[in-house]
Chain A
Amino acid sequence: GNSVTQMEGPVTLSEEAFLTINCTYTATGYPSLFWYVQYPGEGLQLLLKATKADDKGSNKGFEATYRKETTSFHLEKGSVQVSDSAVYFCALSGGSNYKLTFGKGTLLTVNP
């Protein structure tokens, strides 16, 4: 079946540091890949997505590239802010039911 593996957190960075959160996946066929973000006490917000190999999703300074050869979709941001502190989930959607399979989430804390 489908599965997503994310780097375990928590990740603690200083403001303006570079961020990478690793995500690899196992899936049959050609899934779509997503990063969702969950701020404290809230639901999930779509951060970015990519639907085919070599696509790059980007939003709010975050980027991730769909790498089929390495089955990866790593999240990066060049300069994090305190407001980026949240839990980040990598997810894939595959199959005719479009259900999402999530990684376990990575807690990011950015200190001023």
Chain B
Amino acid sequence: EAGVTQSPTHLIKTRGQQATLRCSPISGHTSVYWYQQALGLGLQFLLWYDEGEERNRGNFPPRFSGRQFPNYSSELNVNALELEDSALYLCASRLAGGGETQYFGPGTRLLVL
């Protein structure tokens, strides 16, 4: 069974640009979570999507947004990039009704110059 996949693996942008990160969950998983792992800040919850809807968001500004598609894949968009947005962005999926375990992808490393 394929795990969670993310693309691209690395992304380099300049300040003010927009970044789009993609995630495909494990087959059958309908919930997708996004986390940011920034140096010195640890792992922080960003967004939760389930059944195509945004269900919850962490303490991040509105320029962090996303969506979930009918096939349950998800996209994270970061607008007006700032230097401090440089981080590893991790996507995780969970089987709705299947407990609380989240399974993580390899991440997208975003560098903002």
Query: Chain A: how many interface residues by the 8 Å CB criterion?
Result: 21
Q: Are A43 and B107 in contact (CB under 8 A)?
A: yes
A 20-40 contacts with B by CB, 8 A: 32, 34, 36
A 59-111 contacts with B by CB, 8 A: 89, 93, 97-105
Given contacts A34-B101, A46-B101, contact A97 B48 (CB under 8 A): yes
Given contacts A34-B101, A101-B45, A104-B42, contact A44 B90 (CB under 8 A): yes
Query: Hey, what's the 0/1 contact readout for B11-49 against A, CB within 8 Å counting as 1?
Result: 000000000000000000001010100000011010010
- Inter-chain CA distance A99–B42, complex, in Å, is 15
Q: Are A98 and B102 in contact (CB under 8 A)?
A: yes
B 52-103 contacts with A by CB, 8 A: 55-56, 58, 88, 90, 92, 94, 99-103
Identify which of B31, B42, B105 contacts A43 (C-beta below 8 A).
B105
With a CB–CB cut-off of 8 A, which chain B residues contact A89? 43
Query: Chain B: how many interface residues by the 8 Å CB criterion?
Result: 25
Q: Are A100 and B90 in contact (CB under 8 A)?
A: no
Identify which of B4, B6, B33, B56 contacts A100 (C-beta below 8 A).
B33
CB distance from B6 to the nearest CB of A (A): 8
* Nearest CB in chain A to that of B43: its residue: A102
* Nearest CB in chain B to that of A98: its residue: B100
* Nearest CB in chain B to that of A36: its residue: B104
Pairs A–B under 8 Å by Cβ, sample size 12: A34-B101, A36-B104, A44-B92, A44-B104, A46-B101, A93-B102, A97-B55, A98-B94, A100-B33, A100-B35, A100-B92, A101-B45
Which residues of B does A touch, CB under 8 Å? Answer: 4, 6, 31, 33, 35, 42-43, 45, 48, 55-56, 58, 88, 90, 92, 94, 99-107
